[in-house]
Amino acid sequence: MPNERTILSTCEWRIPLSDLDYGAEEEEAALRVVRSKWLSAGPEVEAFEREFAALIGVRHAIAVANGTAALHLSYLAVGVGPGDEVIQPAINFVAAANMTVAVGATPVFAEILGLGEPTIAPAEVERSITPRTKAVVVMHYGGYPCRMVEIERICRERGVSLIEDACHGVGARYLDEDKGRLDGKMLGSLGDIGCFSFFSNKNLATGEGGMVVTDQDDVAHRVRLLRSHGMTTLTWDRHQGHASSYGVAANGYNYRLDDLHAALGRVQLRKLAKNNERRRGLVEEYWRHLALFPRWVLPFVGKSAAGSGHLMAVVAPGIEKRAQAAHALKEARIQTSLHYPCVADFEAFHRFGSGRLKHSRTFADRAITLPLFPTLRAEQVEEVCRLIREACA
Ligand SMILES: *Cc1c(COP(=O)(O)O)cnc(C)c1O
């Protein structure tokens, strides 16, 4: 249970890992919804979906309760079920794997490309495909695109669904040097379905919230049905007089977003481009300082133009050095984290086994995530880097 003590202690970070860009516009949006006396899914959700679909450049955006619900509905919409396998990166948040198990399927953990590019390796995807493979989930680590041209080709050739966990990548574009058909498209619109989260620490934050995006009408239809109990109309439709009753066409869930969160999301959407730009500038600043550290690996260095700047992760030369850096920053009341432990190594996934995950495990042992948020200042970046240098000298 959170009490006053724990609330105080979370405020004791001098530089937190992430921080919201929230102000008068968000307050006004929340007030507008409160005063409208329509709190559940209604006009704000509809507007948020329209605006989000326009941003990503897709036919359909379906707002949901959180990013995990987005993944769950995506699996169900492409028909992942008992006996199926879902290939996914071993370095990821646990949601994609948990939802795989939730639909009765087996997660198959694939290796990342390497310490400098901790996204799923296309060759490992290809190697992991079996007759039971139903879907591949990619995760654009830190908002930097996976190798989508190769992965998309593999999935298309093998008739496997491609789902993007784009929770880190909102507002980022895919840049393809060969100028193929994916060039310039937004992350989340590169496969069959894209999943987003609006959790408090994401680039577009509403507290809880998520979105499913797709160009496929049948997929969108199934996601909409399953989002709200399988019911054929929403309370909002009936309130507006568009319908007076409902049918139940599938066995669904209650994964709806509500108007309060959607109103916040619409404000955050307007701030996204500017805030992602600031994040990219700060990442460049980190890279400038950290490039001077021998044997430290800077994932995606030089690729800031192609990312959302969601995370600032760096890989220490060893487990010891990572511990020294984390300790020194904690002493200075600077928050750090790890994105992520190797999912296959969590107790809850031991029964599924794992293949060669050498890079993934090394990454999990040596990576550290440093503070990054739009209002972080360049002096603070410099201080973080100086403390790491001193601690590891
Ligand atoms: C945040 C996140 C999720 C889960 O989103 P929730 O909204 O917290 O359910 C899933 N995958 C990744 C990569 C994330 O960062």
Neighbours of 390 (CB within 10 A): 11
CA-based torsion, 109, 114, 118, 122: positive or negative? negative
Q: Contact 194/216 with Cβ under 8 angstroms?
A: no
% of residues, the chain, pLDDT over 70:
97
C-alpha of residue 388 to centroid of ligand 1, in Å: 28
Which has the minimum average pLDDT: 81-95, 239-253, 340-354, 373-387? 239-253
Mean pLDDT calculated for residue range 117-134? 98
User: Which atom of ligand 1 is least distant from the CA of 168?
Assistant: 15
Pocket of ligand 1 (CB under 6 A): 66-68, 92-93, 95, 139, 165, 167-168, 197, 199, 210
Nearest to 111 by CA among 290, 348, 342: 342
Pocket test for ligand 1, best of 18, 68, 141, 337 (most atoms within 8 A of CB): 68
Nearest to 113 by CA among 145, 136, 158: 145
Torsion, Cα 337 340 343 344, to 10 degrees, reads -110
Which residue would you say has higher pLDDT here, 233 or 9? Answer: 233
Q: In angstroms, rounded to a whole number, what is the distance separating the alpha carbons of residues 79 and 76?
A: 5
pLDDT at 151 over 50: yes
User: Which atom of ligand 1 is least distant from the CA of 197?
Assistant: 7
Q: Contact 110/128 with Cβ under 8 angstroms?
A: yes
Mean pLDDT calculated for residue range 64-72? 98
User: Which atom of ligand 1 is least distant from the CA of 208?
Assistant: 7
Mean pLDDT calculated for residue range 234-252? 88
**Got the DSSP string for 4-63?**
HHHHHHHTT-SB-S------HHHHHHHHHHHHHT--SSSHHHHHHHHHHHHHHT-SEEEE
Mean pLDDT calculated for residue range 329-339? 97
List, as own/partner pairs, every contact residues 92-95 make where C-beta atoms lie below 8 angstroms and the sequence separation is at least 24, other chains included: 92/139, 92/165, 92/340, 92/343, 93/139, 93/165, 93/167, 93/339, 93/340, 94/340, 94/343, 94/346, 95/67, 95/68, 95/71, 95/165
User: Which atom of ligand 1 is least distant from the CA of 209?
Assistant: 7
- The DSSP code for 316 is -
Mean pLDDT calculated for residue range 144-163? 98
- Tens-place pLDDT, residues 175-216: 999 999 999 999 999 999 999 999 999 999 999 999 999 999
pLDDT at 2 over 80: no
User: Which atom of ligand 1 is least distant from the CA of 210?
Assistant: 7
C-alpha of residue 226 to centroid of ligand 1, in Å: 19
Q: Model pTM?
A: 0.96
pLDDT at 3 over 80: no
What's the whole-number average pLDDT of the chain?
95
The per-residue pLDDT for 11 is 64
The per-residue pLDDT for 8 is 52
Mean pLDDT calculated for residue range 134-156? 98
pLDDT at 71 over 50: yes
C-alpha of residue 376 to centroid of ligand 1, in Å: 22
% of residues, the chain, pLDDT over 90:
90
Nearest to 103 by CA among 229, 247, 226: 226
Give me the domains of the chain, ranges plus CATH numbers.
Answer: 24-268 (3.40.640.10), 272-391 (3.90.1150.10)
Alpha-helical runs (H) found in 175-304: 217-227, 235-239, 259-290
The per-residue pLDDT for 393 is 83
C-alpha of residue 48 to centroid of ligand 1, in Å: 19
The per-residue pLDDT for 1 is 47
Q: How would residue 305 be classed by pLDDT, with cut points 50, 70 and 90?
A: confident
Q: Whose CA is nearest to atom 3 of ligand 1?
A: 67
C-alpha of residue 201 to centroid of ligand 1, in Å: 10
C-alpha of residue 68 to centroid of ligand 1, in Å: 6
Q: Which residue has the tokens 């496929």?
A: 216
Q: Contact 65/210 with Cβ under 8 angstroms?
A: yes
